A = this chain, B = another copy of it.
Amino acid sequence: MTGAPLLIHRATVLPAWLDYNGHMNDANYLMVFGYGLDLFMDRVGIGEEDRKTHEISLYTMQAHLSYVSELHANEPIRVETRVLDFDQKRVVLYYEMFREEALAAGPVAACESMNLHVSTAPVVKSAAFRPESFAAISALADAAKALPPAKYAGRPIAIPRKAAAS
């Protein structure tokens, strides 16, 4: 398990997650990607018990969502989470969401997040990962190098225009 490049979370789209367009609401994608973040934290020693014992946590500094295809009620979905980059106290994660029954069709949404490791006492402050966490993150990052490119990562938001039009 330790060498697996992806952390996989499965879910089903709940009717309560839809909005007036009849599809899954923007914010609920981020909630579901958050389950991928939970898996990651459990895997690298920042899970619930670790947070209490070591007075640490992982804060999200940025999240960039890309919406590709609509989701409707009761669709089985999965989130695949990988490590894209990291340093002593930061980790960049990349998540793709798929229809469980149409994995080959590619992601219906993606998310990239910048996360900061913190100590939570006496005050919240950025802190280096514990050595066990750093090693686990490093192993996940190495394994992720074998995956297809993270298509929706690293992009700023911009309306594409021909050079002559500006």
Binding site for B on A (CB under 8 A): 20-21, 25-28, 30-31, 34, 48, 51, 57, 59-67, 70, 85-87, 90, 92, 112-114, 120, 124, 153-159, 161
Contact = CB atoms under 8 A, between A and B. Distances in A.
Contacts of A113: 157
Contacts of A20: 48, 51
The count of identical subunits is 2
Nearest to A70: B124
A66 B112 CA distance: 12
Contacts of A30: 26-27, 30, 65
13 contacts: A21-B57, A21-B59, A25-B34, A26-B34, A27-B34, A30-B65, A62-B65, A62-B157, A70-B124, A85-B158, A86-B159, A87-B161, A113-B157
